[in-house]
Structure 1
Amino acid sequence: MGSDGKVFNLAEVSEHSSPKDCWLIIGGKVYDVTKFLEDHPGGDEVLLSATGKDATDDFEDVGHSSSARAMMDEYYVGEIDSSTIPTKQKYTPPKQPQYNQDKTSEFIIKLLQFLVPLAILGLAVGIRFYTKAA
């Protein structure tokens, strides 16, 4: 491995987030991938967008080959203090009032009981004036 296994916190690793100095956190380990940016098959933007956070999920989702995983050893600089990485929160949707089908259909029925006779009356009056005018 490339380093003595120093332990870094997230703030320290986050300082290395530019094309001239790029560090990633993958699997609890810290890698200085600055020299690899130009050679990365997915482009340097992919690596730069993964800085300042735990990039393990991003790395695993791509499905890197065993040779790509073996290359990581030469970029190793140390370990991450996992207590400095925020834990992922499970998304819980906001509580919403229960949908009550009965009250909604009641409202629609009352609304139609009011509007349908008005529409019939309006149509009758319109036909009456139209036939008188013609």
Structure 2
Amino acid sequence: MPSAVRLIRSSDLADTAEYAYAATAPANARLIFLAGSCPLDGEGATVGVGDYAEQAAQCIANMRTALAEAGAEITDVISTRVLVASAKQADLVAAWGVVRDAFGPHDVPSTLLGVTVLGYDDQLVEIEAVAALLD
């Protein structure tokens, strides 16, 4: 099935960004709004305590599961917001590297934010996403 998502790049903007600057979906696309994907295992325990990359990987795994339940894949994601509980750029970059690699060439528009705290004990990373499907 063809993707509903069209990534948009601009030659007038810096080409150093590791993501598209915008994305669109046609009017007939069904949008899927995912809750923030957290680094929790099947029992609800936080995985990768103290490890930004491991927590980002668990968030991606959980996001893939939620997408599948909605009939979607990671290539149907139209945008993300990556929240990292740190004021250190290196910690944000560690989480971002995992996210970037998971999306590969489907480099959706993304926002990477450092925040003071997230909702679960020992949680360092959370990823919000919106996807679009053609039915």
Q: TM-score range by the shorter chain?
A: under 0.3
Which protein shows a greater Rg?
A: 1
More helix by share: 1
Give the TM-score normalised by the residue count of structure 1.
0.21
Greater RCO (CA < 8 Å, at least 6 residues apart): 2
- Higher strand proportion (structure 1 or 2): 2
TM-score, normalising length: structure 2: 0.21
